[in-house]
Amino acid sequence: MTTPEDSKYAKSHEYLHFDEKEGVGTIGITEYAQKELGDVVFVELPQVGTQLEAGDELGSIESVKAVSELFCPVSGEIVEVNEALADKPELVNTDPYGDGWMVRIRLSDPTEMDELMMNAEEYEEYIQTEAGH
Amino acid sequence: MKKTPLNAVHHELGAKMVDFGGWEMPVQYTGILDEHEAVRTGAGLFDVSHMGEFTFRGPDTVKMLQSTTCNDVSKIVNGRAQYNGLLYPTATFVDDLLVYKNADNDYFAVVNASNIDKDFEWFQEIAKGMEVELVNRSDEYALLALQGPKALALLQPLTGTDLSPLKYYAFANGTVDGAKAILSRTGYTGEDGFEIFLDPGDAPRIMKKLIELGAKPCGLGARDTLRLEAKMALYGNDIDHTTTPLEADLGWIVKLEKGDFNGRDVLQREKAEGPRRKLVGFEMVDRGIARHGYPVVEGSEEIGVVTSGTHSPTLKKAIGLAYLPLDKSAPGTEFMVLIREKETRARVVPTPFYKRAK
């Protein structure tokens, strides 16, 4: 499993890839999370312009098997939503860090990333503990 | 957790294992969608060894079975199986089961894994004072379900039993690749296929052999989407100790004319007056998936409940089953399901959702 080093990770398995120049972060779910969920068939996301606090519900992901909530790892405003997921939710499975991204958020306080999120190494340790092996 | 004789094979195959009613079972190997597809177009292989098997022998066998089930056991001919409901005196389900007839006074039944102990105790209670030898043989069998349009062609070279003449819901004693087996043309997927009862010691080898010949191992995830498309009831979801066969739209297994049985008076009344509620198939009109336990609402009132719901891989839309008041159960009727506090539109549709081409 490759966890991109240039992103941050939440305990609820969202990643955030921050573009410093833009002040905007891309959020999706991790490779580990998509595997755990199985085939994704529907992703419900907020509208552009929605203001969210860190820990707020960001949306939901339906796999064939179950529904999971998606949490917003940082505070900010949603500036873009991945419209491609409406027709091709399976992108979350096939390319979670690429075409399967979910939203872009303008961070209101970028220091939250370091306070609230893990780096790749910490996240890998975390999922190994969580998976129990 | 309890393990089936095929547990090690599942781990070898890299299955994702889950706790299913106290059993460690494979939920999927590669993915629910491609496993589902394999069963609809080729052949899929399921380990269903967790299910229970009971044998019944003795002169009162039919009398005993008749007294606590709603279908007519006396109509089963040798070598055939019958879908049936095991009922309480309230006409609600102890379980649903398949009853197989070997010969006169020699029957066996296959029951749901989670109900084995409850069912066995229930049968023991019913059989008191009757001449029936009742044995729980659940640990003596492994059970593989080979399902899909290519199941017959795949299985035939491994057995001396001529499979083509074996009718749906018929079974035969034979062998599979040299191992003693009962071959039953039954299943829980809406496809043609076979359920193969084996000695636990033979099962891993036979499972690997069938996979080698092209059967795709499938988990409980695909089993659930397949059975739901075919509108086959799942005990614990769609039917349970609070629902009657008529409410569950299983009128075809209710034979009031067969004589007295547990719940007959209740069913007779329901048949005359109509049941209070009915299990219907629905599809979502709005986006979202209505799942087990989600309430059906009308204003602030809860008028029904979703018992099963998923994304249908064949139809590529959200489908499900729900109990609705009888006057709202006609196909075309729209209703509201509460999905995470949001009213979401669904519509009653004819069932089954999927029927295989003959």
Q: Which helix (H) or strand (E) holds A40?
A: strand A40-44
Considering only CB atoms, A42 lies closest to which of B32, B33, B287, namely B287
Q: Which helix (H) or strand (E) holds B95?
A: strand B93-103
Q: Which helix (H) or strand (E) holds B44?
A: strand B44-47
Interface list for B 8-27 with A (CB within 8 A)? 16, 27
| Strands A24-29 vs A14-19: parallel, antiparallel or unpaired | antiparallel
- Where do the structural domains in chain B lie, given as residue ranges? 7-49+141-229, 52-136, 276-349
A2 in any annotated domain: no
H runs (alpha helix) in B43-107: 61-68
Give yes or no on whether B52-136 and B276-349 have one common fold: no
- CA-nearest of B156, B162, B203, B163 to B179 is B203
Q: Measured between CB atoms, does B38 come within 8 Å of chain A?
A: no
Interface list for B 323-342 with A (CB within 8 A)? 340
A132 in any annotated domain: no
Backbone angles phi, psi at B137, to 5 degrees: -110, 25
Q: Which domain holds residue A117?
A: 8-123
Report how many domains make up chain A. 1
Q: Which residues pair with B317 in a beta bridge?
A: B312
Considering only CB atoms, A42 lies closest to which of B225, B289, B340, namely B289
**Cβ pair B288:A38 closer than 8 A:** no
Q: Measured between CB atoms, does A62 come within 8 Å of chain B?
A: yes
**What is the DSSP secondary-structure string of B121-182?**
HHHHHHHTTS--EEEE-GGG-EEEEEESTTHHHHHGGG-SS--TTPPTTBEEEEEETTEEEE
Block residue for tokens 């872009």: A104
| Strands B216-217 vs B44-47: parallel, antiparallel or unpaired | parallel
A133 in any annotated domain: no
**Cβ pair B32:A38 closer than 8 A:** yes
Q: How confident is the model at residue A1 (pLDDT cuts 50, 70, 90)?
A: low
Summary mean pLDDT of chain B: 97
Is 60 exceeded by the pLDDT of residue B241?
yes
Query: Quick one: pLDDT at residue A120?
Result: 96
Q: Return the amino acid letter for B199.
A: D
Architecture of the domain made up of B276-349: Beta Barrel (2.40)
CA B115, chain centre distance (Å): 13
Q: Return the amino acid letter for B160.
A: G
User: How does pLDDT run across A91-100, given as a tens digit for each residue?
Assistant: 999 999 999 9
Q: Which helix (H) or strand (E) holds A36?
A: helix A31-37
Task: Name the DSSP class of B238.
Answer: T
Query: Quick one: pLDDT at residue A129?
Result: 87
CB B141 within 8 A of CB B198: yes
Is 80 exceeded by the pLDDT of residue B358?
no
Query: Quick one: pLDDT at residue A133?
Result: 47
Q: How confident is the model at residue A132 (pLDDT cuts 50, 70, 90)?
A: low
Q: Measured between CB atoms, does B189 come within 8 Å of chain A?
A: no
User: How does pLDDT run across A48-100, given as a tens digit for each residue?
Assistant: 999 999 999 999 999 998 999 999 999 999 999 999 999 999 999 999 999 99
Task: Name the DSSP class of A73.
Answer: S
Query: Quick one: pLDDT at residue A54?
Result: 96
A128 in any annotated domain: no
Considering only CB atoms, B31 lies closest to which of A39, A62, A67, namely A39
Q: Measured between CB atoms, does A44 come within 8 Å of chain B?
A: yes
CATH class of B7-49+141-229: alpha beta
Considering only CB atoms, A67 lies closest to which of B27, B221, B289, namely B289
Is 90 exceeded by the pLDDT of residue B13?
yes
A115 in any annotated domain: yes
Summary mean pLDDT of chain A: 94
CATH number at B52-136: 3.30.70.1400
> B220: phi > 0 → left, psi -120 to 50 → alpha, else beta; which?
alpha
Considering only CB atoms, A65 lies closest to which of B221, B288, B340, namely B221
B340 half-sphere exposure, CB direction, 13 A CA radius: 12
Q: A93: nearest CA in chain B? A: B31
Interface list for B 91-150 with A (CB within 8 A)? none
Residue B255 to residues B66, B233, B263, B302: CA-CA distances in angstroms?
Answer: 10, 19, 11, 32
Block residue for tokens 């779910």: A29
Q: Above pLDDT 90, what percent of chain A?
A: 92
Q: Measured between CB atoms, does B288 come within 8 Å of chain A?
A: yes
Block residue for tokens 């970028």: A110
Residue B287 to chain A, least CA–CA distance (Å) = 8
A3 in any annotated domain: no
**What is the DSSP secondary-structure string of A78-100?**
EEEE-THHHH-TTHHHH-TTTTT
Is 70 exceeded by the pLDDT of residue B181?
yes
Tell me the two tokens of residue B74. 């006396």
